[in-house]
Amino acid sequence: MQTSSEKWSFLLGTVAILALPLASSAQLPTLDIESRLGMESHIGNINGHAKDAKYDYRRYCVGCHGELGDGNGENFPWVDPKPRDFQLAVFKCRSTPTGTLPTDQDLFDTIARGLDRSNMPQWNTFTKQERADLVAWVKHFSPRWLNEKPGTPITIPPEPEVTPERIKTGRDLFARVQCWKCHGVQGMANGPSASTLTDDLGRPIQAFNFTDGSRPKCGNTDADIYRIFMTGLDGTPMPSYADNIKPDEAWDLVFYLRTFMQQKSKEKEMAKQLSLKPVDPTAPAGQQ
């Protein structure tokens, strides 16, 4: 008959043996990631090297994005929105079609621009070479960069002159593609679906409020806003409207959204002169 001490020794030994495969499997992501330390980036005539960004990443980025680039850094519980999981290689700010990888230039620009209304600041203190190296480092976390090429950047047509008619057409488009369901009829992020929104990982996410003075995450120029419509913000409920909005129509929507924003603009002045009313969700199609 086994003594109590012998039983405990047996149980502890069994637990130790069962734990061995778990410890080994926990190392696999690290080994897999390290196998891609030769990853490079190419921005213009600058070539970035992942191995050269290790110090900068550990000093400035690891607290949020984590050692393994999975977004589980020590700051994870305290920040909202949550840090990007680089292992998934799914990015909001891209010049490429939805579902495709961003270009190196896209990542390079995001690092410098930062993401408004988040803990991601503008890292414009890095040299261009340091930023290029960090782009390569970000890429080395995911095998997608070995098996896929970035998408082809979308073509943005020349911006037309803003007119009252274009602003009214933009309002009709805002109603037709039901932007108001998330962003609200006055762009205040209070639409009927706003409180239910989640990202692709099931975490709550807020619609963009056009009226509070915030800068759109992926850039504040008209072309930046146009790009968001046509590429979508992957990983979020904001889809691409490339199949629903004609290229020329997208400019009309840009102009209408400018009427919501705090900054002075031609669009706001024209909307005031038109006494433009918010969309009416109950109005028949084309009768705003």
Domains of the chain and CATH, by start = 40-147 (1.10.760), 164-274 (1.10.760.10)
Nearest-angstrom CA–CA distance, 11 and 28: 27
Q: Distances in Å between the alpha carbon of 199 and those of 150, 154, 242? A: 22, 24, 20
Q: Which amino acid is at 104?
A: D
Mean pLDDT by 10 residues, the chain (288 residues): 42 37 44 92 98 97 96 93 94 98 98 91 94 98 96 97 97 96 98 97 95 93 96 97 94 98 95 94 81
Q: What is the pLDDT of residue 23?
A: 33
Nearest-angstrom CA–CA distance, 57 and 69: 10
Instruction: Answer yes or no: are the C-beta atoms of 107 and 91 closer than 8 Å.
Output: yes
pTM confidence score: 0.86
Q: How many CB atoms lie within 10 A of CB 87?
A: 19
The phi and psi torsions of 125 (rounded to 5 degrees) equal -85, -15
Q: Which amino acid is at 122?
A: Q
Nearest-angstrom CA–CA distance, 228 and 217: 10
Q: What is the pLDDT of residue 153?
A: 98
Q: What is the pLDDT of residue 65?
A: 96
- What is the 8-class DSSP label of residue 277? P
Q: What is the pLDDT of residue 5?
A: 44
What is the end-to-end Cα distance of the chain in Å, rounded? Answer: 86
Q: Distances in Å between the alpha carbon of 145 and those of 44, 121, 140, 148? A: 19, 25, 8, 5
Nearest-angstrom CA–CA distance, 116 and 105: 19
